[in-house]
Amino acid sequence: MLSIGEFSRATALTVKTLRHYHERGVLVPTHVEPGSGYRYYDEVAIERAGVIKALRELEFSLDDIGQILSECADDADALQYLAKKREAIAARMAHLRSIAAALESVIRTENDAKAMNDTEFEIEDKTIAPVLIAGIRIRGRFEQCKDVFKQLGRAFGFGLAGKPGMLIYDEEYKQQDADFEPFFPVKKSKKTASEIHVRELPGGRALCLVHRGPYDRIASAYGRLLGEARQRRLVAIAPSREVYLKGPGMLFAGNPEKYLTEVQIFVRDGE
């Protein structure tokens, strides 16, 4: 039989690891000398050590390995465990891909925002494309939109497909009883809570201006857009939209002076 040091060299497992495996009961020495506690291993233990190493490389836990060793004599016996591990890895890979996509979206948004913060914005006459959205229309204070965005995020998760926005149905400013609808573009419709309305938001012609700064100063952007519409003899169509290009981040609230919000006022030709 081999001493623990010799067995360590024969199996490429450290003595510390062998002692841990002994304590966990997955690789018990063939003989432990009374008194001294010296551990000795035979050839069968070498084969068992090889199985343990292979299973650890496949990321099986020691508990799983102990169960496999107690119930299986060859690969065929272990098929159900191998299949279960494959399914778990596939699910984790899908989850990691989703996380990577979310991180990529945040990184792209922040890089775009950095570039935009060096830009002087002017009014643009755009054609806005239709978009599938999920929204919740409420009456109250605009500060409530934060909770609505959280609810939509929980409902759709990685099904979100763009920057958050808000539809504002009032044609005048209201502080307490505003009629508005926070929304997210989504990839596809799904069954959700009854208050969440999933639909295609129509597009159209809009005068747009990016506002840089806190939300409580956004009125100046509306003033410029409405003035431009009057000058061009255009009629504003409710609801107006706000698209939050850069706001509080995933980790930090950030500097409100660097928030970027595109205000969109849809218009038609006047009579």
Average pLDDT value over all residues in the chain: 91
Question: Does the pLDDT value for residue 151 go beyond 90?
Answer: yes
Tell me the sheet residues that pair with 234: 269
Q: Which pLDDT band holds residue 175 (cuts at 50, 70, 90)?
A: confident
Q: Which pLDDT band holds residue 250 (cuts at 50, 70, 90)?
A: low
Dihedral of alpha carbons 116, 117, 118, 122, sign: positive
Distance CA 69, CA 26 (A): 8
Task: Rank 4-8, 33-37, 174-178 by mean pLDDT and report only the highest.
Answer: 4-8
Average pLDDT on 142-169 reads 92
Average pLDDT on 58-66 reads 91
pLDDT value for 249? 72
Question: Does the pLDDT value for residue 184 go beyond 90?
Answer: yes
pLDDT value for 102? 80
Distance CA 81, CA 78 (A): 5
Question: Does the pLDDT value for residue 182 go beyond 80?
Answer: yes
Distance CA 92, CA 73 (A): 29
Question: Does the pLDDT value for residue 171 go beyond 80?
Answer: yes
Amino acid at 5: G
Residues found in the chain: 271
pLDDT value for 204? 96
Question: Does the pLDDT value for residue 271 go beyond 90?
Answer: no
pLDDT value for 7? 94
Structure tokens at 208: 């747009």
Question: Does the pLDDT value for residue 106 go beyond 90?
Answer: no
Q: Which pLDDT band holds residue 14 (cuts at 50, 70, 90)?
A: very high
pLDDT value for 114? 76
pTM value is 0.69
